A and B are shown apart, each in its own frame.
Chain A
Amino acid sequence: MTDAIHDDFETLTSERLQSLFDASDYVAEDEITTTVLLALKLGRPLLVEGEPGAGKTELAKVLAAGFDTDLVRLQCYEGLAAESALYEWNYTKQLLAVQSGRDGDERSVFTEEYLLERPLLRALHHSGERPPVLLIDEVDRADEEFEALLLEVLSDFQVSIPELGTVDADTAPIVIITSNRTRGLSDALKRRCLYLHVEPPSFEKEQAIVRRKVPELDETVVAAVCGVTERLREESLLKPPGVAETLDWARALTALDGVPTDGDHPLTATDIRTTLGCLLKEVEDVERVDDETMSALLAAAETSSE
């Protein structure tokens, strides 16, 4: 069992972590900073739940970039099995080795040489200076059986390979597990993790995010963009826009040269209509934006940019 915490994390402070987030333009409140700090110091996996587009995956990327280490990502999906997540034997290579009778010896073909490492094992076997960030993304998409598979990895940071033995991590990787809460996760999995629920960002936080991520956009347009998105979320939409959609839209507006930035009318109905596809991803949602809703959106844009 591995419980070694990397030295850098043992002496890590919340100020240092916050500056790391700042350097990556990741807007994190104290709650996020404290919880991530705890996960790093205690060497426990961090289960991050929240609405899609709330920045859960981004958190892992930022940590990997901030600590200058590798990001090992395991995207979960229905039917995800051990062969795709843990390891697989390279049967072709094994077969060739057996057939060729290389060197005439009787060496086993169940050695690391014939092992294909998949993300979980790769994260444990990492040989870099700092432990990697293991991102197990959207774990709620995977089957419940897959959660059971994760338990050994998450509690002991080891993988048992029947033909080979147990593979331990020298230092515990930084494990970030994300979930969109489309289904409840098992108690066993939750018990092994610290928990962080990422709330949808407030208007001010979203403004700060857009300002950092799309610095070329005028301040008044940033406020208008966030105002429109916030107003749009009040509508009963099939898929309300998240922060990722706001950022997409902000970038799209930047790409369009015709956006006026005189402050009086930061956005026009045409701007919104032509770029609505960045915000709304369902045809029913797009059709809901009629003239009345458009007026409300424009009013929200003006109010926010004042």
Chain B
Amino acid sequence: MTDMSPEPDPGLDPSRLGDGDGTDHPLDVTRRVRSALVRFVGALRTAGVAVPADGSLVAAEVLAVVGFDDEDEARTALRAALVSNPTDAATFDRLFDRFWRQVTHAVDDPAGGVDTESLDGGFASDAAGDDAPTDRGADDARDSGDDRQSSVSRRLGGADASETAGGDAGTRAQFSPNAPSDRVETDPLEASAVADPTPAVRALTDAIASLPGRRRTPASEGRPDVRRAMRQTHATGGVVMEVPQRARRPDAVRGLILVDVSRSVLDIVDRGFLVRMLRVLTDEWRTARTFLFDTDVTEVTTALQAASPDATLREFDRLEAAWGGGTRIGHALTTIRDRAPDAVDRETVLLVVSDGLETGDLSDLEAGMTWLDRRAQRVFWLNPLAASTAYEPACRGMVTALPHVDGLFAFAEPADLFDMARQLRHRQRPVGYEHDWRRTDR
């Protein structure tokens, strides 16, 4: 089955869309609604809903029958046309809300509103799954595509939405595969509302430590503990019954941290929290190499060792690190494999911070994950979208990566790192986002 989205049938009745005042431009409205519909269908596919190849056509037909007077009726009609699996109903409902806002906007305001040239119309972030953390829900219910863009920009350091790399805010795709990246702003980081990540990082370090530290503790396999053996002979009249052993307690981590700084991630994760966490990780772990990637890859290990978070940002700027573009995880992994093959060894713990919304070649992702899985000691995937209790790793990137991952965890705030540490300390139990505190506390 081809994945191309066919042009919907222009059978939408323009008169249905144009009724109202005399200034309406029915054909223009039809065109905009049609664009919104095609984007909606595309977003459903991106979110993993199995929409048939002619889904747009059937959707246009049913909309032409039910019209735009009643939202519930339109929702039911489109669901009947586009969804054939009850488990997709929740995804459909979430994306439909955005589609409906665009349609009503187009109908109510024929002169403005939906930008037909936009590649995704703001759907892509929603297509990620239900995915947004719960505290964004209220905003999401309100914001239009433009609002969304400005909110992204605010997170990026307060840059004006119009001052984008493309120079045209109105036609910028939000999280699309080929969206341009922004240079990292060097404005001082605002005092983050998120708590200091240091305790959480330390807890995580304790839980995943694999390198031997200076202290020794009793162990089943190690070197003979002669002192303890001698002490025990006092009770047995000088006879050595057994020789206890001791080994160095692992308390350090050698890590490789790959951070997806595509727009879809930055819209969810607080930038200040992210930078601070990376700095603490660099500081706490024995060695930690950190790469940022969106459509390109930059190593920022030295920048994270700068004196302050603001200095880190200035270093990012000097390194020409960019963020806010699309996500090409597979490309990033294979690039790191080629550029820095020694970044991973059998004692390295790998942290990937990404939403898994791969827009590049899946075979690259498969190859990269296989390489990492084979070489690294453990691979953990921190997914900001998993902070939603409704999240399931159904997008194609996560489906490809999941077999190579030792644990998929939520990542939105320090509490997630604490929870990851808590889970990893209990080695016998299954770990992952399914067992995280948001779901188990309910």
The residues of A with any CB-CB pair to B shorter than 8 Å are 14, 30-31, 34-35, 37-39, 41-42, 44, 47, 49, 185, 187, 190-191, 193-197
In the bound complex, do residue A31 and residue B76 qualify as a contact, i.e. CB atoms below 8 Å apart? yes
List B contacts of A47 (CB < 8 A): 84
Complexed CA–CA distance, A49 and B53 (Å): 21
Cross-chain contact A197 with B89 (CB below 8 angstroms): yes
Which chain B positions have C-beta within 8 A of A191? 52-54
B84 touches A34 (CB 8 A): no
B54: A residues at CB distance < 8 A: 191
Contact code string B57-98 (vs A, CB < 8 Å = 1, else 0):
010011001100000110011011101101001000000000
Instruction: Determine which of B1, B73, B83 lies in contact with A34 in the assembled complex, contact meaning CB atoms within 8 Å.
Output: B73
From known contacts A31-B76, A191-B54, A197-B89, infer whether A38 and B83 are also in contact, taking CB-CB under 8 Å.
no
Chain A CB within 8 A of B219 CB? no
Q: How far is the CA of A196 from the CA of B62 in the complex (A)?
A: 14
Q: Contact: B53 with A195, CB < 8 Å?
A: no
Expressed in whole angstroms, the Cα–Cα distance for A213 and B52 within the complex equals: 38
**Contact present for B76 and A187 (CB under 8 Å):** no
Question: B84 is contacted by which of A31, A39, A195 (Cβ under 8 Å)?
Answer: A195
- Nearest-neighbour CB distance to chain A for B98, whole angstroms, equals 21
A-B contact list, 13 entries, CB within 8 Å: A30-B73, A34-B73, A35-B80, A38-B80, A41-B65, A42-B61, A44-B58, A185-B84, A187-B52, A191-B52, A195-B83, A196-B80, A197-B86
B50 on the A face (CB < 8 A): yes
Residues of A contacting B: mostly? helix
**Docked-complex contact A34 and B66, CB < 8 angstroms:** yes
Q: Is the CB of A30 within 8 A of B80?
A: no
In the bound assembly, the distance between CA atoms of A209 and B194 in angstroms comes to 53
Question: Do residues B62 and A190 form an inter-chain contact, with CB atoms below 8 A?
Answer: no
Q: Are B76 and A42 in contact (CB under 8 A)?
A: no
In the complex, A37 Cα to B74 Cα: how many Å?
12
B76 touching A35, Cβ below 8 Å: yes
Q: A31, A39, A49: which contacts B86 (Cβ < 8 A)? A: A49
A71 to B81, CA, bound (A): 25
Please measure, in the bound complex, the distance between the C-alpha atom of A234 and the C-alpha atom of B2, giving whole angstroms: 43
Asked whether A38 and B84 contact (CB < 8 A) given A30-B72, A30-B76, A191-B53, the answer is no
- Minimum CB distance partner of A29 in chain B: B76
Given the complex, which residues of A lie within 8 Å of B73, measured CB to CB? 14, 30, 34
Query: Of all chain A residues, which has the CB nearest B61?
Result: A42
Residue pair A42, B65 in contact (C-beta under 8 Å): yes
Please, which residues of chain A bring their CB within 8 A of the CB of B86?
A: 49, 197
Cβ contacts under 8 Å, B62 to chain A = 38, 42, 194
- Docked CA distance A110–B35 (Å): 52
Complex Cα–Cα for A35 and B75 (A)? 10
Chain B residues, CB < 8 A from A37: 65
Q: Which residues of A contact B61 (CB under 8 A)?
A: 42
Name the distance in Å between B434's Cβ and chain A's nearest Cβ: 21
Distance, CA A49 to CA B84, complexed state (A): 9
B421 to chain A, nearest CB (A): 35
Give the residues from 10 to 68 in chain B that come closer than 8 angstroms, CB to CB, to chain A.
50, 52-54, 58, 61-62, 65-66
